[in-house]
Structure 1
């Protein structure tokens, strides 16, 4: 009996070591990129002639549009505001020289995909960036006090990823190459009270992306989910930038260095460090989960509407981890 217990504890110890080793290997890839499979500048262009970016009118989507154009791709910009799209298209064409197509579509609706499919017909699409998303409440609120647009959130944050992937993946499969980047959030890694629907929708994006990568990796297709924390964009009311909060341009440029290192990344080193810290805290404690305990404490201290009307600088610390 003693020998059996000894073997059991040895096995458990090895398993724990393996789990921590996997975490550190993932983290080390983000620090020592030159030791791993780093993508040459021609890699992105080799995926195909065109990149499709949803939510391209602002923030991260706009930054991807410019950066992928700089990498030599033509870009398709999809968003609901034609004036913004046209301005971005004109700037890319004049300053970079890439060809640009624009598609006006509102991703809070579910009747747009046949129209998008027709507009994308006959394009050799090598990269899809599923970026479009909505945060129903920037400041923390209880579920019953959030705006009554849950269906719009589901269409924008979940349906858009599934349907756009469905439209484009089949052509990537036939060409046996392609890159799909699905923008999730650091809020997907744990349940986030006061952002319940948002964090749940982003958790779907993570699970969906990693499952698809397992299905299609052997067919030459890279499907990666990105889980950033705070990025200064219109959706986050242009949070002040610092070591943690990145500009959209900084985040996008750094994230493209990581497209070949695995099926999930935070997109930048600072956010990888945050994730490692959270996971280490979570892994060293038994129930109750210390991370969830911290979040629940925040809930008890923040009334649903207590932050409304405060200057932005006074409430940024409440939302800095919501990507």
Structure 2
């Protein structure tokens, strides 16, 4: 019996060491990719003629639209505000020479997908960026203190990812190539108190993306979930950029260099380092009342002082 226990402990120890080894190997890929980029310049255009980006009128979606157009793709921009779409589309066409198609759609609604499907008909879609998302409580708060209108959040953060993927994945499967980037969040990597609803919706994006990648990677399709932390956009009230808080343009350019890293990435080196540091915090500390009080006071004050919150 004692011999079996010793072998069991050795096996568990070996598995733990292997797990950490794999994590560090993945982490150091970020440094290696800064020395040489394994992706050829034609990689993104080789996926297909068109890239579809949701939430494309502003922030990260706008940045992906510009960057993918620069890399040779025609762009389908989908967002709620028609005026923003028209202005950004005109700029992209004038500066990159790519064709841009716009689709006005409000992703808090569930009756928009038939119209989107009709507008995408006949396009060779090689890349989908499921970027659209929303948050009700930008400042940390307890669940019962937040908004009761959670259905819009579920439609925008969860249903949009599932339904847009269904609209585009079939063509990728037939052509046996394609790239799907799903924007989750660092707060979706594990339960995050005081952002419980938002964290849960982004956790769904993580699990959905990883499951799909396991199903379709043998068919030549890359499905990657991005879990960034702080990015300065209208959703984060234009938080002041710094070493950790990236601008949308900075994040997007860096994230596209890491599509070969694996099924999950923070999208940029600074956030990958931050994620590893957060992983070192014991759960009993992270979920303690004391740390939650810090978030409710000091973190909330920092957000107010360094963003456009009035």
Q: Do both proteins adopt the same fold according to a TM-score greater than 0.5, normalized to the shorter chain? A: yes
d(CA) in 1 for partners of 2:98 and 2:287? 46
How much does 1:313 deviate?
Answer: 4.9
With over 3 angstroms needed to count, the CA separation of the structure-2 counterparts of 1:290 and 1:302, relative to structure 1, is: closer
CA–CA separation in structure 2 for the residues paired with 1:53 and 1:20 = 35
CA distance in 2, matches of 1:191, 1:312: 21
Q: Tell me how far apart the structure 1 counterparts of residues 191 and 34 of structure 2 sit (CA, whole Å).
A: 34
For residues 311 and 215 of structure 1, the distance between their equivalents in structure 2, rounded to whole angstroms, comes to 42
Counterpart mapping for 1:85-124 below 5 A: 85-124=85-124
Asked if 1:314 is matched to 2:305, the reply is yes
Q: Distance in 1 between matches of 2:91 and 2:305?
A: 36
User: Does residue 1:299 correspond to 2:292, yes or no?
Assistant: yes
2:4 is the counterpart of 1:9: no
Residues 34 and 233 (structure 1 numbering): CA distance in 2 closer, same or farther, change over 3 Å?
closer
Counterpart of 2:285 (choices 259, 276, 290) is: 290
Residues 35 and 90 (structure 1 numbering): CA distance in 2 closer, same or farther, change over 3 Å? closer
TM-score under structure 1 length normalisation: 0.90
- Distance across 2 between alignment mates of 1:311 and 1:206: 28
Residue 104 (structure 1) shift? 0.1
**Residue of structure 2 in register with 1:279 after alignment:** 279
Q: What is the alpha-carbon distance in structure 2 between the residues aligned to residue 211 and residue 105 of structure 1?
A: 27
Gaps of 5+ in 2: none
Q: CA-to-partner distance for each residue in 1:128-153, whole Å, 9 max, x for gaps?
A: 00000001111112212212220000
- Judge conservation of contact 2:285–2:291 (CA < 8 Å) in 1: no
The whole-number CA distance in structure 2 between the counterparts of 1:78 and 1:27 is 33
CA drift of 1:163 comes to 0.2
Call closer, same or farther: CA 1:54–1:71 in 2, change over 3 Å: same
Deviates more, 1:78-87 or 1:146-155: 146-155
CA RMSD of aligned residues (A): 1.9
SS of aligned partner of 1:77 = strand
Residues in 1 aligned to 2:133 and 2:244: alpha-carbon distance in whole angstroms: 21
Count the aligned residue pairs.
306
- The equivalent residue for 1:227 is 227
| C-alpha separation in 2, matches of 1:260 and 1:97 | 27
Matches within 5 A, 1:141-156: 141-156=141-156
Change (3 A) 1:178 1:302: closer
Residue aligning to 2:205? 205
Other structure's SS at 1:236 match? coil
Query: Partner of 2:51: helix, strand, or coil?
Result: strand
Compare relative contact order (CA 8 Å, sep 6+) and give the higher one, 1 or 2: 1
8 Å contact from structure 2 (residues 126, 177) kept in 1: yes
Query: SS of 2:281's equivalent?
Result: helix
CA contact (8 A) 2:254 2:268 kept: yes
Match of 1:319 in 2: none
For 1:218 and 1:37, locate their aligned partners in 2 and report how far apart those are by CA, in whole Å.
23
**Which whole-Å CA distance do the structure 2 matches of 1:73 and 1:141 have between them?**
41
Matches within 5 A, 1:10-49: 10-33=10-33, 38-49=38-49
Aligned residues of 1:29 and 1:36 also touching (Cα < 8 A): no
